[in-house]
A and B are shown apart, each in its own frame.
Chain A
């Protein structure tokens, strides 16, 4: 189980309080699809992803960004049981969606960069550390049921 100090919990809550999921979710997923174009392989049914402008204007990408970021937020209310919280989602991503778990890490990197853009220097080094630890825990839990 991941151990959290009181300060780390506060930092993670503080970051989430600055995130508008409807804005940051789409931005993070768009950025992931643009910066790491091979991640587009999972979105064949989303329509036009042929240019950066198409990705940014694609409503299915935006909607899915919100879904993904909402999913990432779930752990905030279950910080002491992250593994079990994501067990079903892990099975879904492995058995049904067949997503390479390394892609979770790529999306989280893009999300951190979007959050940094929104927060500027308010995202202190200690906050960034706690935030990335949180994302690491979720990513690990999402990859756990793969076999």
Chain B
């Protein structure tokens, strides 16, 4: 399910519109991940507080969103562009790839919450596909 050129343009356009709120969306998305899927807190046992809205969760959500924005710039070659991030996730972080889908869902919910008019079904479809491709690229080096 690769992205058409129209969908790539849709993704770039929406992320550009979103950029003023990207920190908020990243922070909210990770908060919702740990709230809705508490098992994901297992990756953050080294934090004092991994509850929704906590400082480390918000900070890390912003970091992750930064990575997603970086990936938008590499949308024409996600596998190549995300090679080192994939190695990080595969060999160091070892996050089970099922969690990429869970976080993607939380990101879509936040995008819809904060940009209800702009997050049309067409934008939703394109961004959903992009996040799925991103997840695949991140999992590339796992085995």
Contacts and interface: CB of A to CB of B under 8 A. Distances in A.
Interface of A: 30-31, 34-35, 52, 109, 112-114, 116-121, 123, 125-126, 128-129, 132
Contacts of B53: 125
Contacts of A34: 121-122, 124-125
A120 B128 contact: no
Given A117-B116, A117-B119, A121-B113, A126 B52 contact: yes
Contacts of A125: 28, 31-32, 34-36, 52-53
Contact of A113 (B28, B32, B36, B112): B112
B44 to A, nearest CB: 15
17 contacts: A31-B124, A34-B121, A34-B122, A34-B125, A35-B124, A52-B121, A109-B105, A113-B124, A117-B116, A118-B116, A120-B113, A120-B116, A125-B28, A125-B35, A128-B36, A129-B32, A129-B35
* The 8 residue pairs across chains A and B that have the minimum distance between CB atoms: A125-B35, A117-B116, A34-B121, A125-B52, A116-B112, A117-B112, A35-B125, A116-B113
Interface string B101-123: 00001001110111010010110
Contacts of A129: 32, 35-36
B13 to A, nearest CB: 17
Chain B residues touching A, majority SS: helix
B125 A112 contact: no
Interface residues of B, number: 22
A113 B108 contact: yes
A114 B35 CA distance: 19
Given A35-B128, A112-B109, A128 B32 contact: yes
A50 B132 CA distance: 25
Nearest to A114: B112
A15 B118 CA distance: 22
B138 to A, nearest CB: 21
A67 B122 CA distance: 24
Nearest to B110: A116
Contacts of A132: 36
A120 B109 CA distance: 9
Contacts of A114: 112
B1 to A, nearest CB: 10
A104 to B, nearest CB: 15
A119 B113 contact: yes
Contacts of B52: 125-126
A34 B32 CA distance: 25
Given A112-B109, A120-B116, A123-B113, A35 B35 contact: no
Nearest to A33: B121
Contacts of B108: 113
A117 B114 CA distance: 7
